[in-house]
Amino acid sequence: MKIFPAIDIKDGKCVRLTKGDFSQLTIYNEEPIKKIEEFLAYGFKNIHIVDLDGALSGKPVNFSTIKGILSKHKINLQVGGGIRNIENIQQLVDAGVEKVILGTAAIKDKSFLQNACNKFSNKIALAIDVRNKKIALSGWKNQTEIDAIDFIKMVENFGVTRLIYTDINRDGTNLGANILESLSIAKKTKIPLVISGGVSSINDVKNIINHKERNIEGIIIGKAIYEKKIDLKELKGLE
């Protein structure tokens, strides 16, 4: 099981949202590179980064920060936020990003997703961000009526190598991950799934691992780490 400590970047700082609501934003006043180095010190090699400025503006904003991280440290980054064209993807791949996460642009234009998967083999992850099983877009501000599993089935054979499945209603709430729904999605697709949203304790992590669903590739954990509700040493021991 891969554990992905999460870093959301806004205005050059690590932040966390509650349910994707930018009016409920907590700034932790930590530089992303310092947080990366903390995670590295505990032995984590897989990190989830979202460029929130990029998600809001529709174009990558914090590329220089991401490039700087990769120039200093050998680490597996999956990066999303504002990635809307092939040039954006190429830039991140050239910088050394392991997985480029596509969301809004891929949902709006399936041909873009397919082209990206064809051009960047084994590099494309797909963000499926949901409220009540329906996909939300553009930094979670725009709610659609697109059913998550219906969309996943439509693109299943494109070559997406990872699904990032986030329950927005749980994200940043410390209420616990929506494990049952995530497991249900994982069983309906062959694409490896990473659970995101609401993981609040070490017991949440253990519960996910204990389900032994083979198609669950990993877990993303954010706010619970920043608020020290999960001990990083204990967490690393579960990976």
Is residue 11 annotated as a catalytic residue, yes or no? no
Instruction: Specify burial of residue 10 (Cβ count, 10 A radius: 0-12, 13-18, 19+).
Output: buried
Active-site position among 8, 167, 171, 204: 8
Instruction: Specify burial of residue 69 (Cβ count, 10 A radius: 0-12, 13-18, 19+).
Output: buried
Output the six-digit token pair for 110: 């399936």
Is residue 129 annotated as a catalytic residue, yes or no? yes
Query: Which residue has 């990558």 as its token pair?
Result: 60
Q: What is the pairing mode between strands 142-147 and 162-167?
A: unpaired
Active-site position among 129, 167, 171, 204: 129
Buried b (16+ CB within 10 A) or exposed e, 204-239: bbeebeeeebeebbbbbbbbbbbeeebebeebeeeb
What separation in angstroms does the CA of 185 have from each of 92, 166, 238? 28, 11, 23
Active site residues: 8, 129
